[in-house]
Amino acid sequence: MMAPGRNHKLKVAWGLAAALLLSACAPQSRVALPPPAPVVPPVAVPAPPPPPPVRGDVEAYKALVASEIWLRNAEVYADPVPEMLKSIVVLEITIDRAGNPVGISVYRSNGFKHLETRALESIVRAAPFPAPAPGVLEGPGCVTFLETFLFRADERFQLRSLVMPALAAR
């Protein structure tokens, strides 16, 4: 026979277990929760439209590309071109119908490799350029021209396409 105290403890334990089971099955009181916030998909911001194609001839387009290079590079100078230049680097640049440079090479240089590299990098840094007009494009849908970089002694440069109109106006 069981001890009376122990029997009482078992009854209490079974009663608590039964109460817990019943309470878990009983309907829960509903608390009004705010509805979940609707999931808003991120809005894709459209890319700005490309600039309109540049009208005119190759020389006008070349001057526009030169001005873009000048604006996007810190190593330029606006002072008059000095009598003596440290280096002159001529690049051959090919730009596709979308304004992307697809070919850049050194056409002529006096051997300062680091200045050749600086000229090449300035093109890449300034790209993409405005799209050339269909009349400017050559056979495969590109335009190719030469641009001359005029490096002075402190190794800052000016672009011949921007300097020549100023010299002609004198």
Phi, psi of 104 (to 5 degrees): -140, 125
pLDDT at 138: 82
Residue 110 tokens read as 């006096």
Task: Name the residue ranges covered by the structural domains of the chain.
Answer: 58-162
Task: Provide the 3-class DSSP secondary structure of residue 83.
Answer: coil
What number is the average pLDDT over the span 143-154? Answer: 95
For residue range 21-79, what is the model confidence (pLDDT) as tens digits?
455 455 555 555 566 656 555 555 454 554 554 556 899 999 999 999 999 999 998 88
pLDDT band (50, 70, 90) for residue 169? very low
The yes-or-no verdict on residue 133 having pLDDT over 60 is yes
pLDDT at 167: 46
pLDDT band (50, 70, 90) for residue 135? confident
Phi, psi of 21 (to 5 degrees): -65, -45
For residue range 71-121, what is the model confidence (pLDDT) as tens digits?
999 999 888 899 999 999 999 999 999 999 999 999 999 999 999 999 999
Query: CATH fold of 58-162, please?
Result: 3.30.1150
pLDDT at 29: 52
101-108/142-151 β-pairing: unpaired
pLDDT band (50, 70, 90) for residue 134? confident
Q: Where is average pLDDT lowest: 2-6, 92-96, 116-120, 137-141?
A: 2-6
88 close to 149: Cβ distance less than 8 angstroms: yes
